Amino acid sequence: MFRDILENGQHIYERNVVDDDLNKKMMDLLLEMDPARDGQLFDQTLRKFSMIENEHLTEEEQFLEQIRPMMSAEALTKLYHNIVGSLAGAPTHPHPSGPSHEIGAKIMHPIVGMVDHMVDSMTGRDKENKPTGLQEEAIQNQQMAQHLRQ
């Protein structure tokens, strides 16, 4: 979306892919680490991971604010429905090896999300009402979508 509307949209897209790839690698590393054993290194890696993810979300929100005036009411409504639809089928667990590029993500995320939702249902995790990191991000994205509708 950014690629088509903003002058530097292609670079924004590529930067987002790099951020996603970097954070997936950092998530892999964090999953391999032991906080008790790795102590300060684990803490620093977790802080860096959080910083990149928070920066990514903030930038997305800023870019959406930039393109909002350039979009028709119909396009904003379509964007809102796309975001809400994506959130409903989004994965509920981290999948660091998952694709970051648009085509791979469009294919794999709904499939992985469906499997995650089935596993959550079978294990009772869906009843715990404890949002995972991805669900918290989805909640933030949903709030962003509500903001777009205004």
Q: How many CA atoms lie within 13 A of 101 on its CB side?
A: 2
| Shared domain check, 135 and 82 | yes
| Shared domain check, 114 and 102 | yes
Q: Please provide the distance, in angstroms rounded to a whole number, between the alpha carbons at the two ends of the chain.
A: 19
| Shared domain check, 86 and 47 | no
**Cα–Cα distance measured from residue 49 to residue 43, given in angstroms and rounded to the nearest whole number:** 10
| Shared domain check, 117 and 78 | yes
Residue finishing a domain among 36, 70, 104: 70
| Shared domain check, 149 and 87 | yes
**Cα–Cα distance measured from residue 85 to residue 74, given in angstroms and rounded to the nearest whole number:** 16
pLDDT, tens digit (0-9, with 9 covering 90-100), for 20-65: 888 888 888 888 889 899 999 999 988 888 888 888 888 888 888 8
**Cα–Cα distance measured from residue 54 to residue 57, given in angstroms and rounded to the nearest whole number:** 5
pLDDT of residue 29: 86
pTM for the complete prediction?
0.56
Domain that holds residue 88: 72-150
Grouping H, G, I as helix, E, B as strand and the rest as coil, residue 92 is coil
| Shared domain check, 80 and 47 | no
Q: What are phi and psi of 100, to 5 degrees?
A: -105, -30
